[in-house]
Structure 1
């Protein structure tokens, strides 16, 4: 078409109102034409004079050089330095070479692009790298190289960090640490006494605006689940441990809101921070308080270790409290494991043991959580109490009747003996089944519990008495007395697990006083034994004579 136009007299050098000639417009568009080189050669061959022909030769040479651009590290670096970003974006995907050379070149391009704030170039390099390459790239930081994402997070470079984080192949782990752990590396360095930079560093626990935004981007990422929040570093601590240790309150609050387990730090959190967080765990719908559809939602996920949730499928960690007299407090259905109660209640036991925080146990969030746990296990407590009462009301009367029966031939005692014998045998059988079920469910915990060993001893001795393994003498009477006391002590302890009875409080107080008394007695027993030995030393001969005389008289 161009050849036809020129052959019929079209002037390629005539200019328009803006001073542009058809030839100049053509040269600017030659890069998008497949036959651009052929067109330039045609113009050069049909130029009217030598001066125009030499100019066209230079244009053709430049165009040919551009077509055969050598994609190398130096040429691409020159494009970046000259600001030819479009050309760099077109030629970078053709960069080839050994893996190590490619990795080194990409790291240099990234450093230059970050320094020059070439966001498009950073995005191009990151998105063109494979899943393996992107996790091998490093950036220079304090005479060492770290992963791209960790570098941007530490520098709080929001634009670069967002580009790195959106890449699905980039890793959120650096060795055994996570991004959340790496934020505290600077605190660890500057808190060290041997650090040379500690004198120049001004300690602050406040996060900058960009640091907060980068941290929020991590929490919003789909890969940042509860397992990631609770992951332990090489020292065995989660990220929330360091946020509490170094007083980064913003991070502590946000981690708890997203489900970080509070168990390891609950006694170290400031009371005001913990109280405000517990208040935020209670939310409501848009209804008014006097409306029947009004509901409160209580979030408990900060009390549940993530490993248990994932292992046993505990995917619901909130309850709804409707404003209705008909409906009662009810949790969502969850799959539970027998060890969940202990793991979830450890943090609350620590809270109660702290004098500064123990009043928070009455907060509606924690109080309702304890109530829910109690509503799930109270049936077992009541059942255990019934088994113990059955043993007490059958075996103790059996011991008394059996003792009375041997000393006197009473027909009434003989009539009651057989029913009590059967009832005692059944109660002991039930206790044996109870102990076996506990052993099967949790062997390790069962073996380490001292109360279980007392129960085993009580069952074995009761069976021996029931089956007449011992001859009747003074030692048997002492053994029966001890069994009766142990059975009553077992019943007394079970009463302490019933919060609905006022006697439970008195039971706990008695156990505390009883334990304190024996500790004090053990301390003063040294002096008592010392006095006894001193008197024996002074009156030793008299004791020997008295014992000999009593032996002779007998």
Structure 2
């Protein structure tokens, strides 16, 4: 009988390889239509792969056979990954091409995630077939290591979720992205063991074969784990749609991972971003400082006064108008870039109020009382705005004191909300005891005693509340309080104990404890402030629309290109930098070697970088020169970062060379101890024989 497709599939399922081989040859000889043979071959291949029969799959293929999208490649790889058929998986990948369609078919399913979900952590990883599948997939550069499933989970998500520490280390060593966000807005580092992450970050810092004291000694910082998956693709977009600061922002908010902000790899990454942003940041700071000084001088010394030189008054007013206009354009640009994020900030609302009041004062003259109110309001708003602006400086002392101010103020307000019940109750008691019960006498003597102070006498409810709050700080003026009965004395004594002694000292103690805690973490606070500043600017550009219409939008993107804060893929094409500690901590960026001018040997890659040859390396190095002649330190790596990096390298070398010595010493100690025990046993045996 002539074999049919059903017969062959039956033989496949029954694992009768001899009969299947004979029937397959007859069946193939009888097929004259190539398309029909291809379809039948795909059906038989599906069954063979489903049962994990490598020998049968090999019989169905020949030397020229190639798996592709038409041969249901993606399903074959998914079945092998989910079932742990590592040999079959390796064979199918070896028979797959390298075309774009083939790579797309390979990554149709998150293969690495399918493997990790099947790994049993209780079994030996050396014998686990799924670990073998994992090694095969990781060794194939066509497999997308950051592929996400329908819920947005990447392979690193599942490795962390199922506590497969060995898989976590493998994925990190293969530069898996740590900032992938799933459908629940969770990152892989949310539940990752901080020790594993720290060890991986340590491994990203390497040095060349020179000694630490040599002039040519170099330290390499590899940022591969911070490269978003879209930047690893060969398809490059003109406008970035990724947030590079996402994992670092999460670290700054996590109590378990915040200490990693001090790690040289993370802090150097933030430093490079800050170097690109700093020139714009300091220009904004200088303009706002000049505007604040001019505006304060105008309001205090010139506004509404006739005995001031007209030229000085006009210069201060025009300078203030220029600064206010600059702030208005700045806020309008931020509003147009991302309106939702802009209006959700209280600071932005305060800036809008400041701009409105400033224009009102600068463009109009008001009567004396109105002028005083507006002047006081604008001075207070401008002072608060300038304080917040200076507080964003990523300088350790400034950022620490700003955080102290915000934290203590917030905790004071929280405490006052809770204790306001007691304060309001005492205020009503004072109002009732010292005013209401004697209202007739008070009204009859009001004209005769015009100098009586209603504030000290609790004349109304408002003044009673204010007087009680003042008494909270210790300003009693008890001599002016008229105690008319024993209850008034008792209430006043209770106020002294509960409010002045207990509540006020308790609030002071909270402030002191907050201050001590902030000073202890001063370095982390400074780094967190830098993360917040960089993330705020990058987030605004990340959510902006570069193709939007409008003259102001075009001007913004002309001054601030949307990708000027993005380091990947163009600014750091090799995802690493090189620092020379013995050459003033200069920063070099490796680039792919380009054809250079034979005379000068330089290529103008960017206006602020200089191209240098990298010896015999296949790449070229770009010396980072950011800033201007008055800010030369902007072109160097921070000395504290380099100190931490060299400590990591030194401890690694010391551990590598110290472990064999320690192990040999431990063996020698054990042998000596064993020898002593043997001598003791022999001595006791000899004593026993003599007896």
TM-score range (shorter-chain normalised) is 0.5 to 0.7
**In 1, Cα distance between equivalents of 2:439 and 2:28:** 106
Quick one: which of 81, 84, 90 aligns to 2:16? 81
Deviation at 1:90, TM superposition (A): 4.3
1:11-90 to structure 2, matched below 5 A, reads: 72-74=5-7, 81=16, 83=18, 87=22, 90=25
**In 2, Cα distance between equivalents of 1:207 and 1:344:** 36
Q: How many residues align?
A: 430
Q: Say yes or no: does 1:423 pair with 2:309.
A: no
Deviation at 1:481, TM superposition (A): 1.4
Decide whether aligned partners of structure 1 residues 130 and 390 sit closer, same or farther in structure 2, where only a CA change above 3 A counts.
closer
SS in 2 for 1:297: strand
Decide whether aligned partners of structure 1 residues 502 and 484 sit closer, same or farther in structure 2, where only a CA change above 3 A counts.
same
**In 1, Cα distance between equivalents of 2:121 and 2:222:** 38
SS in 1 for 2:189: coil
Name the larger-Rg structure. Answer: 1
Q: Say yes or no: does 1:180 pair with 2:112.
A: yes
Deviation at 1:211, TM superposition (A): 2.5
8 Å CA contact 1:76–1:92 kept in 2: the answer is no
Q: Say yes or no: does 1:218 pair with 2:137.
A: yes
Residue deviations 1:334-381 (CA, integer Å, cap 9, x gap):
x885x86xx333322332333443332222111211211221111122
1:527-538 to structure 2, matched below 5 A, reads: 527-536=422-431
Q: Say yes or no: does 1:120 pair with 2:48.
A: no
Unaligned runs of 5+ residues in structure 2 are 180-186, 451-691
SS in 2 for 1:233: coil
Q: What residue is the counterpart of 1:39 in the other structure?
A: none
Q: What residue is the counterpart of 2:407 in the other structure?
A: 512
**In 1, Cα distance between equivalents of 2:262 and 2:55:** 53
**In 1, Cα distance between equivalents of 2:446 and 2:302:** 35
Q: What residue is the counterpart of 1:368 in the other structure?
A: 268
8 Å CA contact 1:262–1:303 kept in 2: the answer is yes
SS in 2 for 1:261: coil
Residue deviations 1:284-319 (CA, integer Å, cap 9, x gap):
3444444444433211132233346769948xxxxx
Q: What residue is the counterpart of 1:274 in the other structure?
A: 197
Q: What residue is the counterpart of 1:398 in the other structure?
A: 298
**In 1, Cα distance between equivalents of 2:233 and 2:8:** 52
TM-score by length of 2: 0.54
Q: What residue is the counterpart of 1:477 in the other structure?
A: 372
Deviation at 1:126, TM superposition (A): 11
1:139-218 to structure 2, matched below 5 A, reads: 147-166=75-94, 167-168=96-97, 169=102, 171-172=105-106, 178-186=110-118, 208-218=127-137
SS in 2 for 1:217: helix
Q: What residue is the counterpart of 1:12 in the other structure?
A: none
8 Å CA contact 1:260–1:302 kept in 2: the answer is yes
Deviation at 1:163, TM superposition (A): 2.1
**In 1, Cα distance between equivalents of 2:426 and 2:49:** 84
Decide whether aligned partners of structure 1 residues 162 and 487 sit closer, same or farther in structure 2, where only a CA change above 3 A counts.
same
Q: What residue is the counterpart of 1:262 in the other structure?
A: 178
Residue deviations 1:365-421 (CA, integer Å, cap 9, x gap):
11211211221111122112112211211111111123461xxx42x4444222211
Unaligned runs of 5+ residues in structure 1 are 1-64, 137-146, 188-200, 315-334
SS in 2 for 1:298: strand
**In 1, Cα distance between equivalents of 2:412 and 2:390:** 21
8 Å CA contact 2:28–2:37 kept in 1: the answer is no
Q: Say yes or no: does 1:232 pair with 2:155.
A: no
Decide whether aligned partners of structure 1 residues 129 and 355 sit closer, same or farther in structure 2, where only a CA change above 3 A counts.
closer
Residue deviations 1:236-272 (CA, integer Å, cap 9, x gap):
3322122112111222222223333223132422122
Residue deviations 1:421-475 (CA, integer Å, cap 9, x gap):
1111112122222223333444443333322221121111100111117x32434
Decide whether aligned partners of structure 1 residues 124 and 443 sit closer, same or farther in structure 2, where only a CA change above 3 A counts.
farther
Decide whether aligned partners of structure 1 residues 205 and 533 sit closer, same or farther in structure 2, where only a CA change above 3 A counts.
farther
1:78-117 to structure 2, matched below 5 A, reads: 81=16, 83=18, 87=22, 90-91=25-26, 93=28, 104-110=43-49, 114-115=52-53, 117=55
Cα RMSD over matched residues? Answer: 4.0
Residue deviations 1:199-225 (CA, integer Å, cap 9, x gap):
xx9856957553333213222334324
